[in-house]
Amino acid sequence: AQAVVAQALASVDRGGTVLFFASTDPGVSTSLSINDFFWRRDTTLTTTYAAAPEDYQLALDLIAAGRVPVGQMITHRVDMANAARGFQIAAAGHDCIKVIVLPHG
């Protein structure tokens, strides 16, 4: 939605990031001041891939069938009291694949 893009661009603070999670319809464009947006406000624009529902279903089916050993991908588990440490581990990225915060201990 073009209105959402405009709102995100207007709302981002200095040094902030706007993450575009989904694509627009073909031909949709927006304008912005490169000097103001990038040089004066140091804003980052980035994208991410969002899978289609069929992709999620396939992934869940593979996990349920035991074909993808997701449990082995969890390298760290922390409780809520140590959640900040979990985020530090994930941000550092050393010897870490997936950090799980266990909500109940």
pLDDT at 105: 63
**Joined tokens for residue 2:** 């073009």
pLDDT at 7: 87
Backbone angles phi, psi at 17, to 5 degrees: -130, 135
Least confident of 25-34, 37-46, 65-74, 94-103: 25-34
Instruction: Report which of 14, 63, 66 is spatially closest to residue 39, judged by C-alpha positions.
Output: 14
**Joined tokens for residue 78:** 């922390």
pLDDT at 29: 86
HSE toward the beta carbon, residue 54, CA cutoff 13 A: 0
3-state secondary structure of 30: coil
